Structure 1
Amino acid sequence: MDMDHHAWAFKPAEPLQKSSTGLLKGLTFSVKDLIGVSPWPLKASTHAPLPHVPDNPVTQKLLLAGALLVGKTHLHEIALGIMGMNPVAGQALNPLSPNRISGGSSSGAAITVATRECDFALGTDTGGSIRIPAALCGVYGFKPTHNLYSTQGVLPLSPTCDHLGTFARSINMIQQVHQAILGERPLHVSWKGVKVGLWSIKNWVTPEVWETTENFSHKLQRLGASVEVFDFQVPAGTYSTIVLAEAAFIHRAALEREEAGFGEGTLALLQQGKTIPAVQYLAAMKERDMVLQDLKGLFHRYDVLIAPTVPSIAPLLGEDTLDLPEGKIPMRQAFLRITNPWSLLGIPVVSVPLPLRGLSIGVQVMLPQGEDARLLGLCAELG
């Protein structure tokens, strides 16, 4: 495991330790380098100047619960992307196959858990940034209800969609960390009689991903759940309008400089965000409210929603489109449209890893806002 996957942004000689007792005594973790931990540097895997970020209270809680912080991890530059690419470390590499992408933006977080360099990791998810790398690297990724884990002391990208969450190799570990953060004890729940909706996006994923997702739904049926397919649409552009407008505002000081310091792709997206008129942003926020109403309707019909996490196994380095049943789709769009609705809507999601051809994909398991403990309990029952 000595290979460099470009995961570590900052690795001190000694881990940071605040307590030798507590629920997480002796467990090790990493944090994405958007998260404030003094006296450590915060660079967000960019050369651009950043707004000041104070200490993150969740990280402090984990330290006080006895966990040891072993370092900070690289990300897709300022978290604005899903490839795991940045101008500081370059492309993050998939630990299951180093000629493939790890996914992002929390690339280093997923990698350090997958390579067993730590027991769990903190990452952020604005449009899929925990779930995508978790699925591609073969670990569990948990995006809690919006603002359940404090994003204070986390460099924002889009306050409307930003979530702080966790990675681990087991759901039990995620439950333990959840308990340390919130004091909620793990729930034991059964799949018996649970009504499950499967998002019908067969054309958005490769046939092998759809087949693996259907096999997962058959497993839920064997556990006593009922499964049926549902349709759900989010207006195109709602998510990107909100995120790019907010990101351009967060990084406005750097954008005003002659040399902003961002990589080419990041700069192009931020400049796009800068040109979004207020009326377009407000219209997108109104669309979001309407989609939230649609989601309420869905959760009247179903207890749990499931969907693939990723459209394919990890793409090879250098690929920028995916071949899907509906045609060639740009990589960013192909990945984000499957995960971003659930960040936009702020509901808790676990990406459960599913092996495929020696690599990994994932399935998203989703519940209504605030039902995080129940979600983790259901996922723990999957064995």
Structure 2
Amino acid sequence: MPTPPDFPDPQRAWAYRPSEALEGAPGGPLAGLTFSVKDLFGVPGWPLTASTRAPVPEVGESVLVRRLLELGASAVGKTHLHEVALGITGLNGYGSTTHPHDPARVPGGSSGGAAVSVALGQADFALGTDTGGSIRVPAAWCGVAGYKPTKGHPDWSTQGVLPLSWTCDHAGPLARDLGTIARVHGALNRGQIRGQDWNGVRVGLWLPDGWTDATVRAATLASATDLEGRGAVVTQVHLPEMLDAYSPIVLSEAAQVHAEALQLADPGFQPFTLSALRQGAALSAEDVQHAFDRRADYAWLLNGLLTAFDVILAPAVPTPPPLIGQDEVEVGEGTVPLRRAVLRLTAPFSLLGVPTVSLPTSTADVGVQLVGRHGEDDRLLGLGLAWGAGA
């Protein structure tokens, strides 16, 4: 078996690096590629901590990791995440992960270590998870690409992955470029992703007034202009903030996942994580049902938009990466809590399970999202491939 590359880890991106990589099957379509594994996936012989000091449930073997190994890719280790995936900065019980190029800033989360591992060229692609933006946010802030598939996509199994919210969880990849992601996706579904012509594509531009700073707004508008230059028809659209549905669902389900640890006097979670899990445990059945009712209303709205438009273009983050410890950001409407500012842009598309890619822009550490219809993952990836450097 090949030995994983010996590289320093000042960003604390790596949770576990074995003495020998798990070698992929020779001759497979992914032979020669290496990948990192977010420390929520079960890998036989490798520890699973979910980047927490608290005990976590057993999950068994990840179907997705096993499949990638069968296709020829080699797994080089596990990456850190925001503790138990409940956050968007990279904070965890092991010192927390920092940005790949600026140690004073966060990489995003929860798949922060995954994004760092590909941004620094330590792996060709990374396995992450996305419950409310956990692939797309670190991809945007670290200048790489990320893909959240349609919920329940058969080629991106969450079996053998420690859940955060079974309603909203997705497994997906990050890489330095969308071409690598398309290659991995094509190998999994025994197909090939081909670039799609943008001429005549109906694009809904979702850029809520005041939700981003000037830098992100300009980068998103520049992306829209670029798509118009490729023949797309861009029209502004509107969607509401959906956190009133998202947060109760995710927190209540996360509390159920970690119910045993929450019975301990001192389970070992970071204070914010413990507070959030206890908040979820305190929600009533009526609170949660109301959230699901709101989710159904929002699904109706989004499905209507994706009938009128082929894709939605939106910012992936509200600002460039914030400083470590920063709890608020300045956007057009004023000072907003960081969590709300980020999740209101990304959570709708995991809450409602539609495929989404995050692509870098010409502005450093700022990304945009392309959102497609349920099940149209191949078309979405093909449009992203054709856009290429124009994004």
TM exceeds 0.5? Answer: yes
- Indicate conservation of the 8 Å contact 2:59/2:160, yes or no: yes
> In the alignment, is residue 36 of structure 1 matched against residue 42 of structure 2?
yes
1:118 maps to what in 2? 123
Query: For residue 285 of structure 1, what is the amino acid of its counterpart?
Result: F
Gaps of 5+ in 1: none
1:162-181 alignment to 2 at 5 Å?
162-181=169-188
Matched, 1:205 2:212: yes
Counterpart of 2:320 in 1: which secondary structure?
coil
Superposition deviation, residue 182 in structure 1:
2.0
With normalisation by structure 1, the TM-score equals 0.97
Rounded Cα–Cα distance in structure 2 between residues aligned with 1:235 and 1:136: 22
What letter is aligned with 1:65? L
Alpha carbons 1:58, 1:181 under 8 Å: kept: no
- Give the structure with the larger strand fraction: 1
Q: Identify which of 59, 63, 67 aligns with 1:61.
A: 67
Q: Does residue 109 of the first structure (1) align with residue 114 of the second (2)?
A: yes
Alignment partner of 1:13 is 2:19: yes
CA distance in 2 between partners of 1:157 and 1:183 (Å): 29
Give the superposition deviation at 1:185. Answer: 2.1
**Aligned equivalents of 1:376 and 1:34: distance in 2?**
25
State the Cα deviation string for residues 20-41 of structure 1 (Å, max 9, x = none).
Answer: 2100101100010000010111
TM-score by length of 2: 0.95
Are 2:25 and 1:25 equivalent residues in the alignment?
Answer: no
Correspondent of 1:360 among 347, 361, 365: 365
Contact 1:367-1:375 at 8 Å conserved across structures: yes
Q: Following the alignment from structure 1 to structure 2, what is the Cα–Cα distance between the partners of residues 300 and 66?
A: 38
Q: Is the 8 A contact 1:102 1:137 kept in 2?
A: yes
2:158 counterpart (133, 151, 162): 151
- In the other structure, the counterpart of 2:78 is 72
Matched residue, 2:357? 350
* Count of matched residue pairs: 380
Output one character per residue of 1:348-375: Cα deviation in whole Å (capped at 9) or x when no partner: 000001142xx31100001011000000
Q: CA deviation at 1:235?
A: 4.3
Partners of 1:82 and 1:332 within 8 A in 2:
yes
Contact 1:234 1:291 in 2 (8 A): no
Taking the aligned partners of 1:215 and 1:62, their CA distance within structure 2 comes to 36
Deviation at 1:202, TM superposition (A): 3.0
Match of 1:324 in 2: 331
Contact 1:138 1:355 in 2 (8 A): no
- AA aligned opposite 2:131: T
Write the deviation string for residues 327-362 of structure 1: whole angstroms up to 9, x where unpaired.
Answer: 111111111111000100100000001142xx3110
Deviations 1:91-141 (A, max 9, x none): 211112221110000010000000000100000000000000000000001
Report whether the alignment pairs 1:229 with 2:214. no
1:216 pairs with one of 219, 223, 236: 223
> Helix, strand or coil: the match of 2:336?
strand
> Among 344, 355, 375, which residue is 1:337 paired with?
344
Aligned partner of residue 98 in structure 1, secondary structure: coil
| Structure 2 runs not aligned, ≥5 long | 1-6
CA distance in 1 between counterparts of 2:192 and 2:330 reads 44
Counterpart-to-counterpart distance in 2, 1:236 and 1:9: 30
Shift of 1:236: 4.1
Q: State how far apart, in whole Å, the 2-side matches of 1:235 and 1:53 are.
A: 30
Please state how far the C-alpha of 1:187 moved relative to its aligned partner: 3.1
* Cα-Cα RMSD: 1.1
Q: Which residue of 2 aligns with 1:94?
A: 99
Structure 2 SS opposite 1:91: coil
Judge conservation of contact 1:76–1:105 (CA < 8 Å) in 2. yes
Q: Kindly state the Cα deviation for residue 200 of structure 1 after the two structures are TM-superposed.
A: 3.0
Q: Which amino acid aligns with 1:247?
A: A
User: Residue 184 of structure 1: CA displacement?
Assistant: 3.0
Q: What SS class does the counterpart of residue 86 from structure 1 fall into?
A: coil
